[in-house]
Structure 1
Amino acid sequence: MFGYVIKRAFQMVLVLWAVSVLVFVMMSFTGDPTYMMVPLDATEEQIAQARRLLGLDHSHLTQYRLFLKNVLQGDFGRSFVFRQPANSLILERLPATLEIVFLAMAIALVVAIPLGVYAGANPKRAGSHAVMAGSLVGISLPGFWVGMVLIFVFAVKLQLFPSSGRGPTQEVFGIRVSFLTWEGLRHIILPAVTLSIGTLAILMRIIRAEMMEVMRQDFVRFARAKGVGQRGVLFRHGLKNALIPLVTVFGLMLGDLIAFATLTETIFAWPGIGKLLVDSIYRGDRPVIVVYLMFVALMFVVVNFAVDVLYALIDPRIKIR
């Protein structure tokens, strides 16, 4: 186990280094941020001074060495727009993103598990076909369209939920959260539901496929022969084994939702890291974009590592070396 952890840690370092190279190269070819910092009537001397302040007067190799040195020290530079450390901006906006992501995953699991189990245990019934048709629709619908429809129906027409913003927050262990207040909870419902639709549909189809496979196994027939009821067969024996492959997918989906909630956050003006990324791209705020990309890469390698270890703990047949 210890050797496996060391090997994976080395692989994680290599992946992060490769990502740092790709991020630096991409940022180097996205234009000169100097012109975003100086007035339109700036002189050549002012432009050159701004380039020196930003460290852009060195060669690309020197810039990368300085960039890597600063990253290893936890310094990603200061935001060109907000005039504060870029990593503190990400950490400040991260709780808002985590709120809608975790609520979206909770909604997806609560709905997908019972429907997927039903559809897998009764594949020939009309209800199972309806569940699969609904999941296909959920996968096909674009997230931005779902968000706009939810805003139109529940915010504009019915006026049940706010159409944008995060609402009031409360501080818990130094972190601002909104789900502890009624008004904050009303603000979070629509973006969380929007974010959960695609994930819910995918999880439902995976659970159905795994349940159909598990229900054909000998241990299920043996459980029925012992007199175990239908609910016990489905949830205590069937679902327990069907969820093993779901661990990998769940981990990747969680990382995917955190990293790519940009459209949902933009539609609902939700002040998370996705909205921050979109604003930073529009404004050419290179340090914030770099921090975001490095954070996403770190999150995915850590989540993959955690999923591999958890997978081995859940399924004793798997040995990690």
Structure 2
Amino acid sequence: MLGYVIQRLLQSVLVMLAMSALVFVGVHAIGNPIDVLISPDATQDIRAEAIRRYGLDLPLWQQYLAFLGRLLRGDFGTSFVFGMPVLELILSRLPATLELALAAVLAGTLIGVPLGIYAGYRPDGILARGIMAVSVLGFSVPTFWVGLILILTFAVNLGWLPAGDRGPVMEVFGVGWSFLTLEGLSFMLLPALNLSLFKLAMMIRLSRAGTREIMLTDTVKFARAAGLSDLTILRRHVLRLIAIPIVTVFGLELGSTLAFAVVTETIFNWPGVGKLIIDSITALDRPVMVAYLVLVAFLFVTINLVVDLSYALLDPRLRRGGAAA
């Protein structure tokens, strides 16, 4: 097991190094932030001083090495626009995105997996067909359109829920959370619902496919011959056997939701990391853009590492294979 963990850690370090280089070069190729930060009427001396102050006069490879040196110290630089450390800026917005992503993925998983198992267990039933129809809608309808419809229906026409913003928060250890207050939950409900529809559809499809496959195996036939009830079979055998793909999708969806909740946060004016990166792209705030993309890459590498280690715990064959390698 130790050899398997070391192998995965080394792979993760190499992937992060490659991704940091790609991100740094890519972001520095999309525009010159001086054109946004400095007035067009500024003199050449002022422009040259700004370029020197931000370190943009150095060759790209020197800028990258300087970035890596700061990165190893936990320093992502200072935002051109906000004038504060980038890591501090991102961390101040992260709780809003984190609670929204967790609510969406947990809701999609806790509701979608039981529905998918039922649809796979009774594939010809009316309820199962209705569940699959919902999953089709979840995949087909664009997120921005669903968000606008939710706002129009529940905020504008019915007036039940707020249309946007985060609302009041309760601070715990200096971090504000919306879900700890009833009013904060009301602000959180529509964006979380909007984010969770695609996750719900994916979990339904995944669970149904796994259940249909496992119900035809000898394991289930022997369990029925032993006199086990259908509920026991579904709980002890089916759910356990489909756990690996569910763990994989849960981890990847949590990572993608944290990284790319941009549309939902923009529609609902949710002050999270997604809204921050949109504002940074508009202003060509390079330090924020680079730090965000590097952290996204780190997030996915970490999630994949955790998923791989979870595989090893769920399937002993992987531990033996990693040790042999």
TM-score by length of 2: 0.95
Query: C-alpha deviations, 1:138-179, integer Å up to 9, x for none?
Result: 111111111111111111111111110001111112221111
Aligned-residue offset at 1:50: 0.1
Asked which structure has the greater RCO (Cα within 8 Å, sep 6+), the reply is 2
Q: Letter of the 1:26 partner, please give it.
A: G
Paired position in structure 2 for 1:189 = 189
In 1: Cα distance, 2:74 partner to 2:316 partner:
39
Moved more, 104-113 or 309-318: 309-318
Query: C-alpha deviations, 1:203-257, integer Å up to 9, x for none?
Result: 1001000001111122222222233222222223222222222211211111111
The residue matched to 1:318 in structure 2 has which SS?
A: helix
Aligned-residue offset at 1:186: 0.3
Q: Letter of the 1:146 partner, please give it.
A: V
Q: Letter of the 2:237 partner, please give it.
A: H
Paired position in structure 1 for 2:277 = 277
Query: C-alpha deviations, 1:16-47, integer Å up to 9, x for none?
Result: 11111111111221111112222232110000
In 2: Cα distance, 1:244 partner to 1:56 partner:
47
Paired position in structure 2 for 1:249 = 249
Aligned-residue offset at 1:264: 0.5
Which residues of 2 match residues 66-85 of structure 1 at below 5 A? 66-85=66-85
Q: CA contact under 8 A between 2:261 and 2:274: conserved in structure 1?
A: yes
The residue matched to 1:78 in structure 2 has which SS?
A: coil
Paired position in structure 1 for 2:217 = 217
Which residues of 2 match residues 193-204 of structure 1 at below 5 A? 193-204=193-204
Q: CA contact under 8 A between 1:35 and 1:47: conserved in structure 2?
A: no
The residue matched to 1:40 in structure 2 has which SS?
A: coil
TM-score by length of 1: 0.96
Q: How many residues align?
A: 321
Moved more, 17-26 or 236-245: 236-245
In 2: Cα distance, 1:267 partner to 1:316 partner:
45
The residue matched to 1:176 in structure 2 has which SS?
A: strand
| Ranges in structure 2 where 5+ consecutive residues have no aligned partner | none
Aligned-residue offset at 1:89: 0.8
Query: C-alpha deviations, 1:63-92, integer Å up to 9, x for none?
Result: 222122122222211111110001111111
- Is 1:160 aligned to 2:160, yes or no? yes
In 2: Cα distance, 1:256 partner to 1:27 partner:
20
Aligned-residue offset at 1:130: 2.2
The residue matched to 2:103 in structure 1 has which SS?
A: helix
Aligned-residue offset at 1:185: 0.5
Q: Letter of the 2:42 partner, please give it.
A: A
Paired position in structure 1 for 2:304 = 304
- Pairwise CA RMSD of aligned residues? 1.3
Q: Cα distance 1:196–1:288, how it changes in 2: closer, same or farther (>3 A)?
A: same
In 2: Cα distance, 1:269 partner to 1:103 partner:
17
- Is 1:134 aligned to 2:134, yes or no? yes
| Ranges in structure 1 where 5+ consecutive residues have no aligned partner | none
Moved more, 90-99 or 26-35: 26-35
In 2: Cα distance, 1:60 partner to 1:71 partner:
16
The residue matched to 1:245 in structure 2 has which SS?
A: helix
The residue matched to 2:318 in structure 1 has which SS?
A: coil
